[in-house]
A and B are shown apart, each in its own frame.
Chain A
């Protein structure tokens, strides 16, 4: 039974999701997150990078209800529930926007440009939204 289940599981590949959009203006941030969660369900190696305006998704204390939206910050906290541990915030983007680590949700590592380049280079597939 175990062997059977194993043979049916999809081949494992490394997927990197680069989320570059602010949380509410468009639905790109949500779409990117949905793709990553789906990939994680299929037991792929998922890395998630918040780059550019995407770092705004990480601000603590969001209240989507004020504009009739779901709060995206809550959804991000589910990343680890889905086994996505490699979650990174673009260091340069944080600096440019004057954001400190204390402004952000917990469980994030910052990542510099070189490291993002390496991550993209070493991934089988990159989703850039």
Chain B
């Protein structure tokens, strides 16, 4: 079983920290809404295990002008990709 974790607030919240405490090897994290600020913070991303795939919602990054600073480890996906991603994991765990 695999889970897609969505994180929707910035690093000022403790969402990522809480999520990482209970995440499994084959899971992925998708950063959405204010969560996309994580995607341009290499220092924060390096606390996430290498086996965890990382995604960021392109629309949210465009709005916030953070797409240009996107970390290499994070893949930008659009809303259609978001839907596909939800379908390719067994469940979605929302951190908000």
- Interface size bucket, A side? 20 to 34
Known: A22-B37, A24-B34, A98-B40. A62 touches B12 (CB 8 A): no
The reply to whether A63 and B12 form a contact with Cβ atoms under 8 Å apart is no
Residues of the A chain whose Cβ atoms lie less than 8 Å from the Cβ of B10: 22, 25, 53, 56
Binds A, one of B21-29, B59-67, B85-93: B59-67
Number of A-B contacts (CB under 8 A): 55
Residues of the B chain whose Cβ atoms lie less than 8 Å from the Cβ of A5: none
Residues of the B chain whose Cβ atoms lie less than 8 Å from the Cβ of A64: 63
Residues of the A chain whose Cβ atoms lie less than 8 Å from the Cβ of B68: 61
Known: A52-B12, A53-B12, A98-B40. A25 touches B33 (CB 8 A): yes
CB < 8 Å neighbour of A61 from B11, B37, B43, B65? B65
Interface assignment of B5: CB less than 8 Å from any CB of chain A: no
Known: A22-B37, A56-B37, A98-B40. A67 touches B65 (CB 8 A): no
State the majority secondary structure of interface residues on B.
helix
Residues of the A chain whose Cβ atoms lie less than 8 Å from the Cβ of B63: 24, 62-67, 69, 71
Interface assignment of B6: CB less than 8 Å from any CB of chain A: no
Residue of A nearest to B58 (CB): A66
Known: A24-B34, A66-B59, A97-B41. A59 touches B64 (CB 8 A): yes
Residues of the A chain whose Cβ atoms lie less than 8 Å from the Cβ of B33: 24-25
Distance to closest chain B CB from A93 (angstroms): 10
- Of the listed residues A25, A53, A63, A64, the one surrounded by the most CB atoms of chain B closer than 10 A to its CB is A25
Q: List 26 A-B contacts (CB under 8 A).
A: A22-B10, A22-B34, A23-B64, A24-B60, A24-B64, A25-B9, A25-B10, A25-B33, A52-B12, A53-B12, A59-B64, A59-B66, A60-B65, A62-B63, A63-B62, A63-B63, A64-B63, A66-B62, A67-B63, A71-B63, A73-B65, A97-B37, A97-B41, A98-B40, A98-B41, A98-B43
A positions within 8 Å CB-CB of B: 22-25, 52-53, 56, 59-67, 69, 71, 73, 97-98
